[in-house]
Amino acid sequence: MTSTITVEHLWKVFGPKPERVVGTELASLPRAELRERTGCLAAVRDVSFAVEAGEVFVVMGLSGSGKSTLVRCLTRLIEPTSGEISIDGEAVRAMNARRLRDLRRHRVAMVFQHFGLLPHRSVLDNVGYGLEIQGIGRAERHRRAGEMLTLVGLDGHENQYPEQLSGGMQQRVGLARALAIDPALLLFDEPFSALDPLIRRDMQTEVRRLHAEVGKTLVFITHDLAEALTLGDRIAVLRDGELVQVGTPEDLVGAPADDYVADFVRDVPRSDVLTLRWIMRDPLAGETCEDQPLPATTVIRDAVPRILRAKLPVQVVEGDRVVGVVDADRLLPALISHHRQVPA
C-alpha cells in the first residue's frame, strides 16, 4: 500500500487578511518587505512538487524556511492559503471535516519533533490512541499496538509511561503510534533532531529498515543535510518558503541550483555521494583500458581502490554501453576538491 502526493502552487501566508497577498504584486515581494508592508509572513510560497509512491521524499531547509509549515499543510493541520494538494489523486483542500478526519485516521500519519505523546497514558495506550479514536475495541487495539511496539523494538515497555522513557525510546513510541494505523503515507517532522547523535543514527537506520520492510511513502522534514542525504530518494531544498531545488542527493551535491544550495552542500564529502558519472571523461581515440568496466552508478569512494590499483583507465558503462572512462587523474580532484563540478 503506497501513496502519491502532488502539490501545486501551494501558499501559506500568516497574518492579517492573508488572501490578499497571493496572486497580486505583493506575492513577489521579498519576505522582509512583505512583512513591513502588510504585517504578513509568507511561510510557504508557491511550492509545487510531486512525491511518487514508495519514495522517501526529504524536505530540507534551515529553521524558518517553512518546511514544518509545508508538511502541516499536507493534511491541513495548518490550513493552506491557496494552491492544490492531492493525495492519491484526491483533492485534500476540497475535503469536508469528516473526509479529512478519515484521511488522517487511515491514510496519513505523522511523527513529531517533540514526540507529542500523551503523558497520562501508558506506552501501549499511546500507540493504540489512533485506533481507539477510530472506535476499535480494546483487545484488538492492544494486540496491534503490541505488534507495533515489537516492530520498533520496545517489547516489554508496554505498561510504562512516556516520562519513564529516554528521548529515543519516546520517539520510537511516536513512530509506533504512527505505524499502528497502517497508513500509506508517513510524514516525519524533524523527528530525530531532539535526539543525541548516536541515537539519531540508530533511528535513521530504523527508518530505513522500516521503509524497506513496510514500503510506505515517506515525507521527511529535516534541517540536517547528512540525514537528508542518508534517507532521501529525492530531496527538496526550501529557502524562505520557496523551493530552490528538487533532486536526488547526487543532483544536489553535483549540480546545486544556486549558491544557497552550493553553500549547503559544500562540506559534503563529494566522493561519498557522487557517482563515476560526475568525474568520467570521454575515452580518447584508441585508448586501451582495464578489462573490467565499472557501472556509472558506482559511488566514487567505492571505486577508489580499483582505479588507484589500475595501470590503465577504467571504462564506465551504463548497461553494455561505454559512456566514459576514469583514471587517477580524474579521481583525485573529486577526493580533495570542494569545487563545483559539472557532469561531463
Partner 1 sequence: MVAVAGETAPRRVTRRRVLWVLLVVAAVGAYLGFRTAGAADSDDAAAFRFFTGVRNWVDDNRDTSPLFLYGVNYLRLGVRLLVDAVQAGLYGLGFAGLVAAAGAVALVLAGWRTALVAVGGFLAFGFLGLWAESVDTLVLTVSAVLLAVLTGVPIGVLAARVNWVSATLRPVLDVMQIMPTFAYLAPMTLLFLIGEPAAVIATLIYAVPATIRITELGLREVSPTSVEAATALGSTGRQLLTKVRLPMARPTIVLAVNQTIMMALSMVVITALIDAPGLGQNIIRALERVNVGVAFDAGLAIVIMAVVLDRITTGAARRRPATRGRSRWVVAGGALVAVVVVALLPIGQDLPRLSFAGPVNDLTGWIELHWYDATEWIKNVVSAGLLDPLESVLTSTPWWLFVLLVAAFGTLVSGVRSAAVAALAAAGIAGLGLWQHAMQTLATVLVTIVLTMAVGIVLGVWSARHDWFAAGLRPVLDAAQTMPSFVYLLPAVALFGASRFTAIMAGFVYAFPPVVRLVDRGLRDVPATVVEAAVSAGSTPRQLLWKVQLPMARGGLLLAANQGIVLVLAMVVLGGLVGAGALGYDVVAGFSQREDFGQGLAAGFAIVLLGILLDRLTQGFHHAKGPR
Applying CB under 8 A, the residues found at the interface with partner 1 are 72, 75, 77, 101-106, 108-110, 112-121, 129-130, 132-134, 159-161, 163-164, 174, 177, 181, 187
Which is closer to partner 1, CB of 163 or CB of 291? 163
Which is closer to partner 1, CB of 114 or CB of 301? 114
Least separation in angstroms between residue 191's CB and partner 1 is 12
225 neighbors 249 (Cβ within 8 angstroms): no
Least separation in angstroms between residue 96's CB and partner 1 is 13
Least separation in angstroms between residue 148's CB and partner 1 is 13
Least separation in angstroms between residue 139's CB and partner 1 is 17
What's the grid cell of residue 64? 524558518
Which letter does DSSP use for residue 292 in this model? S
Least separation in angstroms between residue 197's CB and partner 1 is 22
> What one-character-per-residue DSSP string does 159-189 give?
TS-GGGS-HHHHHHHHHHHHHHT--SEEEEE
Which is closer to partner 1, CB of 113 or CB of 315? 113
Residue type (1 letter), 70 = L
Residue type (1 letter), 211 = H
133 neighbors 105 (Cβ within 8 angstroms): yes
Which is closer to partner 1, CB of 133 or CB of 214? 133
Q: What is the CA radius of gyration of the chain?
A: 23
Least separation in angstroms between residue 146's CB and partner 1 is 17
Which is closer to partner 1, CB of 124 or CB of 331? 124
> What one-character-per-residue DSSP string does 219-260 give?
EEEES-HHHHHHH-SEEEEEETTEEEEEE-HHHHHHS-SSHH
- C-alpha to C-alpha distance for 190 and 201, rounded to whole angstroms: 13
Which is closer to partner 1, CB of 77 or CB of 304? 77
Which is closer to partner 1, CB of 178 or CB of 273? 178
Least separation in angstroms between residue 250's CB and partner 1 is 32
What's the grid cell of residue 311? 595501470
- C-alpha to C-alpha distance for 47 and 344, rounded to whole angstroms: 31
Least separation in angstroms between residue 136's CB and partner 1 is 12
- C-alpha to C-alpha distance for 38 and 272, rounded to whole angstroms: 46
Neighbours of 257 (CB within 10 A): 15
What's the grid cell of residue 276? 563515476
Which is closer to partner 1, CB of 192 or CB of 264? 192
What's the grid cell of residue 239? 529557502
